[in-house]
Each structure stands twice: as C-alpha cells, then as structure tokens.
Structure 1
Amino acid sequence: MSATRPLHLAVALDGPAQYDAAYYVGLARLAERGALDFVTLGDSFARPGLDALAVLSRVAPVTERIGLVPTVTTTHTEPFHVSTAVATLDWVSRGRAGWQVDVSTTETEARLFGRRPAAPADAVWREAADVADVAARLWDSWEDDAEIRDISTGRFIDRAKLHHVDFEGGTFSVRGPSIVPRSPQGHPVTVVDGTGEPGREAAARHADVVLVRAGAPDQASALRDDIRRRAEAHGRDPDTLRVLVSLVVDLGESESAQEPGLDSGPQLAGGGPHYSGGPVDLAELITRWHGQAAVDGFHLAPIAPHRDLERIVNGTVALLQHRSLFRTFYPGGSLREHLGLARPANQYALAGGTT
C-alpha cells in the first residue's frame, strides 16, 4: 500500500446504554460533519440496550452520507431474517449500510433462545461465515431489473430474474429467494473483526472491511498481510479489502511532548490497544501508521462518545484535512464509494440466470 492510498476513518458510537434516539442521531451527524467513512454501533445478547440495527435504521433518514454499520450477531438468529434486515437498512439509508458480523459463545446467551447449547468459538465463526455467504446469495437472488411494475399488464416481477439460492450449511439451509429486492449497494458492506483466528478466516473469505487490534505499526502490518494472503487463497482480490485498526481513544488528556503511545489509557472491557492524549497527537499517530503503509485506516472507539467524538472531528480530523491526508467532503453517496469499493456484480446474472 502506498502512502498516498486514501485514509479511511470510522468511529464507534458505543458507550453506556442510551434510550433516546436523538443521542445517536446527534453523534452520527457529528461524525458526518467530519466526512468519516462510517459509524458502528455495537450490540450483543449479553448487554442491555436498544437493538443496534433498529437504532441505525432510525438514524438513516436524518443523515445524508455517513455509513451506518450495526453489529449483528449471527448465532441463534435466522440467516434469512438477518439478510433481509441488513438489506432493509441499505434501502432506508439509500446505500449507506453495512453490518459487523459477530457471534455468541456463552451458555447464558444460548438460554435466551432455548434452541441449542452454546458452541465453541471456531464452530460459531464457521457458522457466521456461512451466514455471510448465504446473505450475499440472498442479496443477489433478485437481479437489479427484476421489478417490472407494469400497471398495464399487472406484472410486478419478472420471475425469471428471481433465483433460489439453495444453500446447505452445517447448521442451516436456505432456499430463497429473498423478500427484499436487491439493495442500492448490491451487497451492504460486511465488516468482521479479524484479530482472532476464527474471525480472521471468516474475514478473509467474506469481509469488505476487516478490523484488527494492534499495538504497533509492524504488528498491524503483519495482520494486514496475513488477511490479504488468506483472501487471495480464497480467490479474492486482496485490494478489495480495507483493513482498519480498532483503537480505543481517550481524548480527555492534554497534549504531551512524549511519543503518542498505546496501552496508556484506562483498561476497558474487551481489551485491545488504547490511546490516551490529545487530538493533535492522535493525528500524528494516524499519520505515522498510515504513512508506513501499515493500515488502510482506523476505527476509533471513544471512551466518552460525545466529548471525544467532538475532539476527533474538530481536532484530529480537521488537522488531517488541513494536511490533505483526509477528505473534506464525500465524493459519492454510498458506503462502498466512501471505501473505494465497487458495487458487486450479481452472481446469478453472471451465471446466466441459473436458479
């Protein structure tokens, strides 16, 4: 990766549970003001709070360009419902949706559903990869011009352009087609945390954006290279992947003269590298890592979302923009355009319409 390759920046809206949609709307609009690629909103069956996908569906109509990426747990849920929900978010956001694939491994969470016991991480990540696979097939099960809407003949759909996916996985099967037409992006953007081994293999097979946790540029570069090699082994073009370092940030401290460091902030749930300091030093860290071709960008997780996001946008991002290292406006309207990713061709149309 050359140092002139575009820098990608995203931010997490996580924090203490909030039950007011206006809170998330305000944060997303602030991130949009900084022209960030996307926001994420975490979710799991083990935490109290609102459903992340539903919250970002509320945020979608009152934002214009920012990408919206909720966490969606694929364990214990129905793949057909997952795919239609994410496609719906892509429609209501006019092509700005993604989803961060996650899994559930605890018996407590399994008992919430009562369908099956908890399974090891490698098993549920294999299932998650199957879910990502069948979701892409369901998104393609309508060709782009399958809708006719011909009032004179009463024909709404060209049935020759609807396709059965006939997927058989290790824990589920799906026939299809979807009930939602192919969405504006074709495939909403798939995000996977590829730091751990089971997730990394799923990311190499199916992710558009891979999140990694790394404490130094050489560690990030090694993770990125490994993910790209695995993707290529699966027949993918590694240049269609974007690898972002996930970094917990605490911008409550003043600027310091010392080298911007990691692991200096408070120890938060989930671990991972931390940055504690000011917005200028954070801009220096981002510039250095990206300049060393270690990463495609950063996924920043503020410990105090409103305070730190404001400092990220008005301080860190403004400085990066001043240095011409980050864009000052959105050149396109979709999340794929923000990330420099092409709209995928429909696999069934390419195969000649085989059902």
Structure 2
Amino acid sequence: MTTPSRPLHLAVALDATGWHPGAPAPDGNSYGPDHWTALVQEAERGLLDFVTLEDPPRRPATGPLPHRLDALLLAAALAGRTEHIGLVPTGVLDRAQPLHIARAVATLDHLTGGRAGWRTQVTPARPIPLDALFTPEVQRPMAELFERAADLVRVVRALWDGTADEKELRTLAPGRFAPADPDPHGSFAALGPLGGDAGDWLTLDGPALAPPAPQGHPVVFTLAHISLPFRYGARAADVVSVTPHSAAEAAATVAEIRSFQDTAGRSAETVHVFADLVVLLDPEPGRAAARKTALDAAHGTEYTSDAEIFTGTPAELADLLLHWQRSGLSGYRLRPATLPHDLTAITRALVPELQSRGAFRTAYEAGTLRGLLGLA
C-alpha cells in the first residue's frame, strides 16, 4: 500500500437536513441547539479540520426545512460546545461592510479560542440566466463584484491587523463600500460599478473594533466554480474549494489557481485547494446508489449538483480522495447527502479507512484552525 506524501485535510459542509433535497428531517427540533451540537461534535469526533455552516440569502434550504438559522450566530452558539474543530460560518459579501465583518468574525475567534473561519460568498442580487453567464455583458459586472469582494477581504485583514486609520484603509480600497444596489430586481448586465466616494465609508470608532483575534487572521474560505472566483480565491482566501468531476479537471483547476496566486504576489503563501464532493456512503456495495435512487424518488426528480456526487463504500471514497490528491488538491469539503447518516459514515468509516492508510491524522495536532491547516 502506497503511503500518501502528505496527509489530507477534511471538512464537512452542514446544511439543514443534508445536501440531498429528498433527505428526511431528523427526529427532534432541527433548529435547536441539541441537533446542531450533535452534528458538529460528531465531526469533531472524526478529527475533521472544520465545518462550514451554510447561509445563502436566496437559495432555499434543502429537504423539508423551509428556513435556515443565521450562520454566524449558530457558530457562536457552538463555540462553547466544541473544543478542537474549526467553525466557519458563511457571510455574503455583496452588501457587507468591512468593519461589521471584521468585528463579528474576530469575536467568533475569541469565543472559539482561535478556531474561527469565514466562508466568503459572492451572490449577485440580480438573477443571471445560465445561457448569459459567459457573455461580456454579464462577465463585466461579475468581475466588478469579485474585485469588490477582494477589496473587502483586504480591508478586513487590515482591521484584524489593528489598522484604525481611515485614510490608510481607504487607500486599500478607494471608492468602495457604497450604498446597496438601488434596483435589485433590474437586469444584472445593466448593473453599474459598485463603487462610491470616500463619504460612503462608515466612520471608524475605536470601541467598535474587536481586539486582535487569537489567530491573527481567522481563516478565509471560499467556494469557486469558474475563473473569476478562482482568481478571487487566489488573491483573497486561505482555502479555495472547487468542484471538479475528474482528476484531470482537478489538476487543471489547481494549475489555474496557482497561476492566479503567482500573479497576485502570493506564491510564497499557502493557499489550500480543496474539492467539494456530495457523498452517500454505506459499507455494503450498491447500498449508497440504491439509497440515492430512493431519495430521488422521494424528491420527485433526480438530484444533480455543481459538485461530483459520490455513491459507494468508504474504501471506494478513500481510493478516489487519494487518487485526486495527486492532482494537487490538499483536502476536501464533503457534503453529506443526509444527516446524520452520511456524516457518521464519514467520521466512523471513512476516517478510519484513511487513517489505516496513513492519510489522515489520529489526533488534533494544533489548537487553532490555522495551525490545523498549516497556515502561518
């Protein structure tokens, strides 16, 4: 058996009842603290690096639950119920102001003792038809949206460093953080630059700044599908998760992100590239595929995803993860199709399989999320 050259990093994405929209609601109050505590403690039992908590503003929750909890408040509630695992709530950047984000995420880092992250998500307020996605009329405002997001992260990092001089902060992102889109129901292609002037900035107030975060910078995570978010992630994030459907596609994506990283002047920094996978896991061959067929029938249509959907045994998934790792990936964010079934299959079957191959940790080796990920 070949021992991997470097251990894998593993995270899970927790969303409502699971990522398959036909997933049944678990017993009990799925919005209550006991439900979420059990899920995150199970992920911690499996020695996973971190969990992400979904909070998209417009995509409906999957499964039978029509609503979502606020991800940042949920992470804060879980801080005292966990000890080692990273907590990474989602924050949508489109209308965010850097002072508010910097303070909230730094506060979470204090509550967790250095285990906080921030899943940055760019979600256009106006709908984009798929057949128009790559047209110049849509790519221009999309590029502007990601440029603004990168500027926002740059300013947030400066605030985490303790910068309180407004002139210095404005120099990092001149003309940014203007009022929200005045016509969110208009055409996306007709959207003008999301800039403004210096007067659009919120005035800094010393007491409004959080004390320095235990990690220095909480971990910045993003999910990316195409070149514009690849470039954003290479410029702004510590972990970029992508959605390849083959090892060859993973290798090409990693190469593109590394090229953007070099252009951004970050070649000396560690920027992890993860892959997202939706997983249905069962020990008996064929059982996971049969379970997906039953979930599709309950949902009324076949479930498809932006990410690869894996159905199989833990050993088969371990084979795939290690094979794709040779494409340059350093980890995976797994999306359990149903909760808690596929989460426990990850922690109690996949993790031991990877450990037996020398591919995953057998104990937490650091007290902060940056430490677990090997980030400076």
Alpha-carbon shift at residue 24 of structure 1 (Å):
1.3
Residue 42 of structure 1 is matched in structure 2 by 54
Which residue among 327, 335, 355 is the counterpart of 1:321?
Answer: 355
Matched-pair contact (CA < 8 Å) for 1:126–1:198:
no
Q: 1:268 to 1:127 in 2, by over 3 A?
A: farther
Q: Which amino acid aligns with 1:7?
A: L
Which residue among 10, 34, 40 is the counterpart of 1:22?
Answer: 34
Q: Which amino acid aligns with 1:27?
A: L
Residue 275 of structure 1 is matched in structure 2 by 310
Q: Which amino acid aligns with 1:98?
A: G
Alpha-carbon shift at residue 43 of structure 1 (Å):
0.7
Residue 345 of structure 1 is matched in structure 2 by none
Q: 1:73 to 1:223 in 2, by over 3 A?
A: same
**What TM-score, normalized by structure 2, do the two folds share?**
0.75
Residue 131 of structure 1 is matched in structure 2 by 152
Q: Which has the higher contact order (CA 8 A, sep 6+)?
A: 2
CA deviation string 1:37-87 (max 9, x = no partner): 110111121143110111011111110000111110011222211111111
Q: 1:169 to 1:199 in 2, by over 3 A?
A: farther
Residue 10 of structure 2 is matched in structure 1 by 9
Matched-pair contact (CA < 8 Å) for 1:15–1:303:
no
User: d(CA) in 2 for partners of 1:269 and 1:130?
Assistant: 33
Q: Which amino acid aligns with 2:54?
A: G
Residue 288 of structure 1 is matched in structure 2 by 323
Matched-pair contact (CA < 8 Å) for 2:282–2:314:
no
Residue 337 of structure 2 is matched in structure 1 by 303
Alpha-carbon shift at residue 256 of structure 1 (Å):
4.9
Matched-pair contact (CA < 8 Å) for 2:92–2:120:
yes
Corresponding position: 1:240 with 2:270 = yes
Aligned residues between the structures: 304
Alpha-carbon shift at residue 235 of structure 1 (Å):
0.9
Give the SS at the match of 1:25: helix
Alpha-carbon shift at residue 107 of structure 1 (Å):
3.8
Alpha-carbon shift at residue 337 of structure 1 (Å):
0.7
Q: Which amino acid aligns with 2:153?
A: A
Alpha-carbon shift at residue 242 of structure 1 (Å):
0.7
Corresponding position: 1:205 with 2:235 = yes
5+ residue gaps, structure 1, are: 109-118, 143-161, 258-264, 343-355
Residue 68 of structure 1 is matched in structure 2 by 87
Q: 1:220 to 1:293 in 2, by over 3 A?
A: closer
User: d(CA) in 2 for partners of 1:238 and 1:230?
Assistant: 13
Corresponding position: 1:195 with 2:198 = no
Task: Indicate the percent of aligned positions where both proteins have the same amino acid.
Answer: 38
Give the SS at the match of 2:245: coil
Residue 150 of structure 1 is matched in structure 2 by none
Residue 111 of structure 2 is matched in structure 1 by 92
User: d(CA) in 2 for partners of 1:340 and 1:175?
Assistant: 36
Alpha-carbon shift at residue 323 of structure 1 (Å):
1.7
User: d(CA) in 1 for partners of 2:270 and 2:362?
Assistant: 23
CA deviation string 1:189-224 (max 9, x = no partner): 001123222211110111100000001111111111
Matched-pair contact (CA < 8 Å) for 1:166–1:175:
no
User: d(CA) in 1 for partners of 2:216 and 2:202?
Assistant: 19
